[in-house]
């Protein structure tokens, strides 16, 4: 089990004792099909819901774990509407439409399981009345909407090369008067260039990139092995190919990895950083990579760029040269519907390309 999944599994086991028995039953039912990360999101959504039930006096139970299933049967549509309003307007942390839809969808899954799948000892459904069956959860973001938000905020063709070149050479000129920035860039520019190049030539997620080990890299076949998001099988990693354009950047970084970052032999991480006060390099964090990309993007004149938008930039370019299903496989999307945003993103590009001579 990879590091993140292990942490999520441990966190899930901490939260479950607080849940009513029927939630734990549902989680165990879903465990073979969903990742610990997804199940943890479910449980957190249920904590929000059960806390609200207690605050509204819709249950007499003083503990979350003691909330009887009968209290769920007595809920009216007015109660569901009130919960939806609570999510949208609570002062400390109002939720977006996407988050509200996800939380309601989590409840629909639980109620469906209890009313349609789980049985008591007499073969009757555990939940006799399912109010959530009346609730329609609308998809808040269609691929076309997502594409519209991304339009103009991605790197296009030549810009991909220009951004990598900027990190390798031109950034140094922009910070020449800042000694600390100059020193940091000289120390890390080969590594930073390699990270950005790998994302822009493979479409890796930042979470996948952070967990890469040296042994996951196959330079001969031009691929890395990663645990893909949403896949619950921890017995093997998925191969993800990268373009030839990333090879030189990887070779340059590997040539200096041990000497520049004083990597101890026990350190397996591919990408290293030396933390303040430390003498040896250790695995880079997700935040460090995100902040690094933002730093260069601002100086490059594209402050809206992020690690995820670099992934989108690769995907748009890749889709133009391949098809929907190859793009889906390369990016590790569970559904082709998610990949369709790149079809919408490339519509305008294709429209302009038809008149080129």
The residues carrying an active-site annotation are 205, 229, 308, 311, 333, 342
Residue 120 neighbours by CB under 8 Å, 6+ apart: 126
Rounded Cα gap, residues 21 and 150, in angstroms: 43
CB 80 within 8 Å of CB 132: yes
Write the DSSP string, 284-349: PPHHHHHHHHHHHHHHHT-TT--HHHHHHHHHHHHHHHS-HHHHHHHHT-SSHHHHTHHHHHHHHH
Beta 272-273 vs 282-283: how paired, if at all?
Answer: antiparallel
State in Å, rounded, how far the first CA of the chain is from the last one: 52
CB 192 within 8 Å of CB 249: no
CB 165 within 8 Å of CB 245: no
Helix (H) or strand (E) holding 33: none
Residue with tokens 């340059």: 252
């Amino acid at each position: 089990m990879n590091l993140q999944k292990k942490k999520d599994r441990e966190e899930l086991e901490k939260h479950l004792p607080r849940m009513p028995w029927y939630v734990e039953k549902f989680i165990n039912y879903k465990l073979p099909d969903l990742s610990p990360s997804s199940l943890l999101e479910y449980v957190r959504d249920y904590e929000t819901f059960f806390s609200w039930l207690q605050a509204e006096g819709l249950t007499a139970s003083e503990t979350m774990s003691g909330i009887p299933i009968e209290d769920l049967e007595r809920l009216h549509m007015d109660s569901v509407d009130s919960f939806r309003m609570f999510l949208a307007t609570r002062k400390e942390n109002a939720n977006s439409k996407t988050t509200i839809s996800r939380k309601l969808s989590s409840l629909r899954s639980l109620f469906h399981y209890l009313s349609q799948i789980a049985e008591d000892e007499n073969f009757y459904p555990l939940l006799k009345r399912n109010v959530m069956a009346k609730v329609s959860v609308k998809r808040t973001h269609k691929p076309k909407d997502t594409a519209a938000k991304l339009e103009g905020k991605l790197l296009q063709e030549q810009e991909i090369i220009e951004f990598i070149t900027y990190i390798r050479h031109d950034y140094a000129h922009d910070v020449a008067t800042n000694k600390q920035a100059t020193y940091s860039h000289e120390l890390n520019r080969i590594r930073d260039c390699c990270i950005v190049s790998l994302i822009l030539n493979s479409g890796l997620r930042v979470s996948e990139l952070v967990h890469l080990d040296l042994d996951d890299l196959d330079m001969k076949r031009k691929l890395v092995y990663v645990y893909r998001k949403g896949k619950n099988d921890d017995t093997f990693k998925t191969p993800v190919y990268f373009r030839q354009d990333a090879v030189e950047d990887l070779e340059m970084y590997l040539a200096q990895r041990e000497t520049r970052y004083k990597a101890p032999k026990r350190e397996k991480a591919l990408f290293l950083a030396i933390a303040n006060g430390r003498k040896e390099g250790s695995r880079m964090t997700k935040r460090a990579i995100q902040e690094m990309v933002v730093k260069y993007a601002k100086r490059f004149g594209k402050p809206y760029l992020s690690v995820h938008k670099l992934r989108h930039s690769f995907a748009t370019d890749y889709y133009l040269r391949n098809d929907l299903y190859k793009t889906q496989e390369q990016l590790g999307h569970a559904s082709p519907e998610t990949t369709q945003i790149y079809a919408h993103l490339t519509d305008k590009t294709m429209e302009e390309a038809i008149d080129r001579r």
